[in-house]
Amino acid sequence: MRPWSPIPIEECGEPLQDLPREFLRMEPHPYMALGAPYGASGNPFQLRQGVVQRLLKAQQRLSDHDPSLRLSIFDAWRPIAVQAFMVEHSIADLCRERGVELMSGDAFDRVVADVGRFWAAPSRDPATPPPHSTGAAVDLTLSSREGIPLEMGGEIDAIGAISEPEHYAGQEDPAARCWHQRRQLLADVMDASGFAQHPNEWWHYSFGDQLWAWRKGAAVAVYAEAANSALTS
């Protein structure tokens, strides 16, 4: 259970929509490249309409601050089957990195716990959908206008303290100061556009889901699990 899991959801009925082409997309899509099961009609670059509108505002705020920068989308809508695939992949990957046997002992349990700080469980309970499966959450970074991602002091999806938004706060090293400033700029434009940030991930923002409601003090979330628009239209 996450601290936001008990928050009720009152689905507002907004459909998913494709992200406008003016957003940079980090392609090939990283999870599709791994073989994640999106299906023939799956499109990860979708979000709820209200989320897309706020993301456009964030892009404008970023451009107003620095015309040389753009938001670059790493991932958006994620079916629960893909969530399950990526949780298993991340556990196996971290086990290989640490030399831990799968499904064996305390070291494996620590791997599962560490992955769980960053990857939501692929719950099929309608009361506790993973954030990305609602179409409310987006993983993104800053890029140049030419589409070159900026160095942010840690890769998206990295497991560990390096991914925490304030990891570089107060450090004197020039590179660390730069990375903190970039993370803070991303946080500022997203917060000003109504988004809430995941407490463990500098790249993850959402609007309208349970995490957002928890961070913003809202009584309810407005987005439940979202169906693929290609399957419902």
* Residue whose C-alpha is closest to residue 47's, from 27, 18, 80: 18
Q: Which of 11, 146, 201, 225 is flagged as catalytic?
A: 201
Q: How far is residue 30's CA from residue 36's CA, in Å, rounded to a whole number?
A: 9
Token readout for 201 is 């991930």
Q: According to the 3-state scheme, what is the secondary structure of the chain?
A: CCCCCCCCECCCCCCEEECCCCCEECCCCHHHHCCCCCCCCCCCCEEEHHHHHHHHHHHHHHHHHCCCEEEEEEECCCCHHHHHHHHHHHHHHHHHHHCCCCCCHHHHHHHHHHHHCCCCCCCCCCCCCCHHHHCCEEEEEEEECCCCECCCCCCCCCCCHHHCCCCCCCCCCHHHHHHHHHHHHHHHHHHHCCCEECCCCCCEEECCCHHHHHHHCCCCECCCCCCCHHHHC
User: In what order do the strands lie in the sheet containing 204-206?
Assistant: 24-25, 69-75, 137-144, 204-206, 196-197
**Would you call 201 a catalytic residue per the annotation?**
yes
Catalytic residues, by residue number, are 201
